[in-house]
Chain A
């Protein structure tokens, strides 16, 4: 790198102007360069430009191609272009790990190595003939047993490995508040899809199981379904693009739940035995994202002086009411209030499985009720007449929908004193919503 850093920009750039092909021209004024000139046109290679090429040929070369198995941001390198805190142990990595609050960034891990195995496997499976199946099965079993053994060993080894440092996750060196956060791996997305579609789990339970927000679960399923539809229709997918992008980003890998349980049991056993067991949870078991985010309500952003007697137990719910009488307590406003009840149940000797099923049932029942309600409303307000080709639908319209000012978007029809302005210049006609 050092020798490269001092090299000058490529000669092709310098002599670009000289190499311009000569053209025959009728008028001198049209000629850009005269054929008989021997001196080069004035160089536009300013100091800035020279420095840029110097950087490009030196430090800049690091960023040209993605780094194998790691992110490749500016913060990952020093001013001299040397990699900061490699994948091995570094003081920097250790420090940041201590600082990290939720540890989810630390859980991020770039996936990129060894993608080939899967393909080979799938192909091999397909290529097998029935008589070979038995032998192959035995082989795979043997392989799996070996793999699980190796897993154990790797887990031991990984305990000493440091996670990727926050510095590696910072695309903008100046802004320490922005981190490149992990995305779901392909397998993870597939697993979520299968949970919802095949296992018929609710979005809520999948969300709390995997530590992925409910919105994300919905989005994953929607797009996975789209992927399958495309395959069925024979539309080409952008798989090479997907592979490349996912290899550049930090990834939340899919972890085996059973294996995780084994790990937890082992840790618990260690703790009971009094060993100084590793308290740090394995980095794979970290949730993808915090799922119980409480939105900061604008009412709560002001400072408030609210006198109460010292003897009174002033709880969260009271504090909420002090800000606004209608502000619901935190325990209800978070996306997963059932998790609180679950934790409380854990302390008593309640049946967790029954509770979980109850939550799921409640979820389904409420969703069903909501859907039915929607249907009922539609039945009442929409009158349908079957036509020859189409059905004619008549919606009930309320005059009140125009609102107090008569300008509400929900209002329908011509309104007195309220001209249509859509033909006026400067009217913004970008739609505000697109129905799916």
Chain B
């Protein structure tokens, strides 16, 4: 189904399954509809329209009405201790609803040591606010759909995107490719999305400002974060290097330059100072590099088209370079780009040139701050890690800049993600492998409905009644 024109319109509030900022604004403005002057039919109509715009708006109405089920799964949590103590006969004693309780006796029972009455102790039976919200579960059948489950597992930034991932073949169910977004998951099904696509969908846009964002990247390296902050603009540098050779004296590059040599100097100065001999040497190097690139592109067996394209682009770039005005900077960049591509060719699964994850690189500088022993959970963690090399490897996993990725690197979450981030209980997600298991159907339990719905329970109830009418 084609996306509506005013998908995130501001005039008529329609909440969608998406992490869009317009959607967040609409969600913040969403109010319970004023129903007093409206007929019951009108109320139901509006409720249906509102809820359907969120719950599976990509599903055709006829399809949904066939999915709708008026029997809603629910559970009651049982306490083994209570079950062991009581066989339930007391509840049916007397005239069928339990024996009358002497109010005075119960009052005495509820009295504390100081003579005050604890009201909570007096109440018998379930708490008043703990009704089972069946009506908030109206749209539970849509949660079984593969595309919705992918969105709920936080693998895509919208249900539409999740759908696209399925159709484009990035999704597997139990290890087999599943191209149907409408596949209804069975309890126990494991679905996986290509990690690169997940990081693309949930990551920040490439080229968006890294200064502010790098502060929030959850990179475990405190000492490396400073380097990362500088490198956050790596991807922009890369883009600029393609476009404009002369104009690549960006701030971050200068910073990089200053890292490499003590005297800080710009490219222009560099040019003026370089001697003719140096220039000649660079020229020679550049030509050699060009030759090597061409060789790699033509002679490597089984080279992927994507890599070939990248090599060709790099070759073109070098060819268009004015040989009389080479800067050390650009030469270095060409070389590093070529190295990245070469790494990708030799080891396509590894991605960029990072050390193997199981052997984290040795630490070079110590963290000045003493680790926080004050947190019992944390210290427990540390003990675990010492025992468990796998956990240590995960903790030491680098988050490095990589210009070949389609998202901002080092990876950071996209804006406004945190306002939408939750994982419902019927899914168990492992983010490391971008996989999730659909454990069971969503259920209602006292006080909680597991279907994530942004609407007031009354709205949900009206929608339920709308669909009930046709059954």
Q: Which of B212-220, B273-281, B282-290, B335-343 contacts A (4 or more CB under 8 A)?
A: B212-220
Does B310 have its Cβ within 8 Å of any Cβ on chain A? Answer: no
8 A Cβ contacts from A114-148 to B? 114-127, 140, 143-144, 146-148
Alpha-carbon separation in the docked complex, A120 to B381 (Å): 13
Does B88 have its Cβ within 8 Å of any Cβ on chain A? Answer: yes
A110: shortest Cβ distance to chain B, in Å?
A: 11
We find that the number of chain B residues with CB closer than 8 angstroms to chain A is 147
Let me know if A178 and B27 touch, CB within 8 A.
no
Contacts of B429 in A (CB 8 A): 183
Contacts of A190 in B (CB 8 A): 384, 388, 390-391
Contacts of A123 in B (CB 8 A): 360, 362-363, 396
Let me know if B362 and A151 touch, CB within 8 A.
no
A140: shortest Cβ distance to chain B, in Å?
A: 8
Alpha-carbon separation in the docked complex, A435 to B186 (Å): 11
Contacts of B388 in A (CB 8 A): 190, 194
A71: shortest Cβ distance to chain B, in Å?
A: 7
Let me know if A215 and B188 touch, CB within 8 A.
yes
Tell whether A60 pairs with B218 under 8 Å between CB atoms, given A72-B419, A248-B421. no
A96: shortest Cβ distance to chain B, in Å?
A: 11
CB within 8 A of B154: which of A143, A245, A344? A245
Does B306 have its Cβ within 8 Å of any Cβ on chain A? Answer: no
Does B300 have its Cβ within 8 Å of any Cβ on chain A? Answer: no
Let me know if A434 and B189 touch, CB within 8 A.
yes
CB within 8 A of A292: which of B79, B188, B375? B79
CB within 8 A of A126: which of B203, B362, B418? B362
Does B159 have its Cβ within 8 Å of any Cβ on chain A? Answer: no
Contacts of B447 in A (CB 8 A): 101, 177
Does A34 have its Cβ within 8 Å of any Cβ on chain B? Answer: no
Tell whether A343 pairs with B428 under 8 Å between CB atoms, given A187-B381, A219-B437. no
Alpha-carbon separation in the docked complex, A344 to B397 (Å): 48
Let me know if B221 and A116 touch, CB within 8 A.
yes
Let me know if B186 and A231 touch, CB within 8 A.
no
Does A342 have its Cβ within 8 Å of any Cβ on chain B? Answer: yes
Does B117 have its Cβ within 8 Å of any Cβ on chain A? Answer: no
CB within 8 A of A101: which of B85, B446, B453? B446
Contacts of A244 in B (CB 8 A): 217-218, 411-413
Tell me the total A-B contact number using a CB cutoff of 8 A. Answer: 410
Let me know if B418 and A248 touch, CB within 8 A.
yes
A414: shortest Cβ distance to chain B, in Å?
A: 27
Alpha-carbon separation in the docked complex, A84 to B83 (Å): 40
Does A296 have its Cβ within 8 Å of any Cβ on chain B? Answer: yes
8 A Cβ contacts from B328-360 to A? 347, 349-351, 356-360
Alpha-carbon separation in the docked complex, A184 to B221 (Å): 23
Q: Mark A314-331, 1 if CB is under 8 A from B, else 0.
A: 111101000000000011
Let me know if B347 and A234 touch, CB within 8 A.
yes
Let me know if B10 and A49 touch, CB within 8 A.
yes
Let me know if A127 and B362 touch, CB within 8 A.
yes
Does B466 have its Cβ within 8 Å of any Cβ on chain A? Answer: no
CB within 8 A of B27: which of A144, A172, A289, A292? A172
A residues sitting closer than 8 Å to B (CB atoms) are 46, 48-49, 51-52, 55-56, 59-60, 63-67, 71-74, 99, 101-102, 111-127, 140, 143-144, 146-148, 150-151, 153-155, 171-181, 183-184, 186-187, 189-191, 194, 213, 215-216, 218-220, 222-224, 226-228, 230-231, 233-249, 253-256, 259, 284, 289-290, 292-296, 298, 308, 310, 313-317, 319, 330-331, 334, 336, 339-344, 347, 430-436
- With A55-B25, A240-B397 already in contact, 13 other A-B pairs whose C-beta atoms are closer than 8 Å: A60-B24, A63-B418, A122-B392, A151-B379, A171-B420, A174-B32, A178-B449, A181-B424, A223-B428, A239-B397, A240-B199, A244-B412, A248-B413
